[in-house]
């Protein structure tokens, strides 16, 4: 850890980076944590890894020896540093952009340590992409919620668990970062679940529940809207109490009821 800390301090000074905490820049400097994070992804040479919030490239450096990596870095100064180091590396693709405001290129896995103030939004964005596995270091409060170990389930965690199977790998202490975040962290591995009616409906969050179900049925089963309406009429009737609500306006309890009903239909 001492080596990466010295390197980080030197780069922060050389690149004249300021107000790191205000900009949500907490660089992971613990080599053991980085090794665990990359190893947990189970990378093979055919993988293309998405690294969201690449920082100084400490995770990127470990990934690139095995497979291709697409690194997204918002800070233009840090991006320029990465470009000088990896601009000619055929295993590295660099993007200077806000991860929340862009469309991700195709990837098979993600190994990332996104800024904590956008971590939940990054996870939500990832629900719309086809990939196999992710490994991230997240705030412990968020990781506990995603794992269902923090009491009453939140709507966000309920939805995320329909898309991903989460597994806690380790606790990550504050001093594993520079500057140290205010909260303890945890490393999670999450595998993408097979895409089906539940996921399709939840992604159509601007639609009413009824329309989201019917549209999803047409998309998934290549049936006409008339056939979908006929086949799923009983399900829509069963969910009549929320059928007219937009998916995004459902409460956590209503989202659970919707997911349970859709999962039951998928198994029948």
Strand partners, 102: none
Residues carrying CATH 3.40.50.150, the chain:
2-192
Architecture of domain 2-192: 3-Layer(aba) Sandwich (3.40)
User: What is the SS3 assignment for 157?
Assistant: helix
Tell me the helices (H) and strands (E) count for the chain, helix number first: 13, 9
The tokens for 226 are 């008339």
Burial label, 5 (beta-carbon count in 10 A; 0-12, 13-18, 19+): middle
Please name the residues in contact with 70: beta carbons below 8 A apart, sequence gap of 6 or more. Answer: 48, 49, 50, 51, 93, 95, 104, 105, 107
Which residue has better confidence, 14 or 24? 14
127-142 per-position pLDDT tens digit: 999 999 999 999 999 9
Higher pLDDT, 162 or 87: 162
Residue 221 clears pLDDT 90, i.e. is over it: no
Determine the Cα–Cα distance for residues 79 and 76; give it in Å rounded to an integer: 5
CATH fold for domain 197-267 = Helicase, Ruva Protein; domain 3 (1.10.8)
pLDDT digits (tens, 9 = 90+) for 96-137: 999 999 999 999 999 999 999 999 999 999 999 999 999 999
Mean pLDDT of the chain: 93
The C-alpha angle 2, 5, 11, rounded to 5 degrees, equals 145
Query: Is this structure's pTM higher than 0.85?
Result: yes
Q: Identify the DSSP state of 175.
A: G
* CA–CA dist 27, 172 (Å, integer): 13
For residue 20, what pLDDT is reported?
A: 80
User: What's the confidence (pLDDT) of residue 266?
Assistant: 76
DSSP states of 80-143: HHHHHHHTT-TTEEEE-S-GGGSPPPP-SEEEE---GGGHHHHHHHHTTS--SEEEEEEEHHHH
| Domain boundaries for CATH 1.10.8.100 within the chain | 197-267
What mean pLDDT is predicted for residues 205-222? 89
Read off the pLDDT of each residue in 142-171 and give the average, rounded to a whole number.
92
Instruction: Give residue 268's pLDDT.
Output: 64
Average pLDDT, integer, range 195-212: 95
**Which range, of 5-19, 171-185, 208-222, averages the lowest pLDDT?**
208-222
Confidence of residue 174 (pLDDT cuts 50, 70, 90): very high
In angstroms, the first-to-last Cα distance of the chain is 52
At 88 the pLDDT is 86
Share of the chain above pLDDT 70, in %: 98
Q: Is the model's pLDDT at 227 over the cut of 90?
A: no
- Residue 222, pLDDT > 70, answer no
């Amino acid at each position: 850890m001492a080596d990466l800390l010295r390197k980080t301090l030197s780069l922060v000074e050389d690149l004249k980076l300021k107000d790191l905490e205000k900009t949500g820049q907490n660089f992971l400097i613990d080599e053991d944590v980085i090794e665990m994070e990359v190893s947990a992804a189970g990378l093979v040479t055919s993988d293309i890894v998405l690294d969201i919030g690449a920082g100084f490239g400490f995770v990127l450096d470990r990934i690139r020896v095995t497979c291709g990596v697409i690194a997204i870095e918002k800070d233009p100064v840090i991006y320029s540093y990465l470009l000088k180091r990896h601009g000619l590396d055929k295993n590295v693709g660099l993007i200077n952009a806000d991860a929340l405001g862009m469309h991700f290129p195709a990837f098979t896995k993600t190994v990332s340590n996104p800024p904590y103030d956008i971590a939940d939004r990054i996870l939500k964005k990832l629900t719309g992409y086809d990939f196999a596995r992710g490994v991230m270091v997240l705030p412990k409060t968020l990781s506990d919620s995603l794992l269902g170990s923090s009491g009453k389930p939140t709507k966000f965690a309920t939805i995320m668990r329909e898309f991903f199977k989460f597994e806690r790998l380790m606790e990550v202490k504050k001093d594993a970062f520079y500057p140290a975040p205010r909260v303890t962290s945890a490393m999670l591995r999450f595998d993408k679940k097979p895409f089906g009616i539940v996921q399709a409906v939840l992604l159509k969050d601007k639609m009413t529940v009824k329309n989201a179900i019917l549209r999803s049925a047409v998309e998934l089963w290549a049936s006409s809207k008339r056939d979908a309406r006929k086949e799923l009429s009983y399900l829509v009737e069963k969910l009549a109490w929320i059928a007219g609500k937009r998916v995004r306006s459902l409460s956590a309890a209503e989202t659970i009821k919707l997911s349970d009903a859709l999962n039951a239909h998928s198994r029948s």
